[in-house]
Amino acid sequence: MNREQPPSVVVLPRQVRLDRLVSVLPIAQARQHGGVEIVVLALEIYTAGFVVTCQVQSHGAVPFIDEAPALALMVTDDCGGPYTRQSSGATGEGARNDWQWRLAYRCTPALDPHARELRLAIAHMTWTRPDARQQRFAPVRTVVGPWTFTVALPADATDGGAR
């Protein structure tokens, strides 16, 4: 018996539990490219990982699509550590060419306690929609970056000041 999900059902990967909140680091860095501005708002640091929150907006350059964009986000630190990331939520609104989305990405593992910088690089953002003919999500628009951010990590960012 075939137990495959019908094409209209989306199965999301299980989210990693981040555990206890250690600190929140305000970032408030903005970068513009291709008519889109990305503002990295904050870094929520947990014992088992962290969350990057950002705002993505366009005021006239890119038409509104009623789906959140997915960011091609790469996260590394100055110790060489890569981090896996997973979309953790999105809210947004807009009309025509004036829109704004707030996005969150969960990242694991926990920040390296020796890291002093976190690097966020977004190569592009893509909007997708279900395509019944292709039985998958198909891209409807891509805006190519890059948007890059360097975040200084305080010495006590990962351990609540226990160093």
Residue 161: per-residue pLDDT: 43
For position 95, what pLDDT does the model report?
Answer: 82
pLDDT at 12: 42
The domain segmentation of the chain, as residue ranges, is: 21-152
Determine the pLDDT at residue 39.
97
Q: Which residues of the chain have pLDDT under 70?
A: 1-16, 157-163
Q: How many CB atoms lie within 10 A of CB 157?
A: 22
Q: Which CATH class for the 21-152 domain?
A: mainly beta
The number of beta carbons lying within 10 Å of the beta carbon of residue 71 is 23
CA 56 from centre of chain: 10
**Cα 12 from chain centroid (whole Å):** 16
Provide the whole-model pTM. 0.81
Per-residue confidence (pLDDT) for residue 134, from 0 to 100: 77
Q: Is 117 helix (H, G, I), strand (E, B) or coil?
A: strand
pLDDT at residue 132 in the model:
81
CB 61 within 8 A of CB 97: yes
pLDDT at position 87: 92
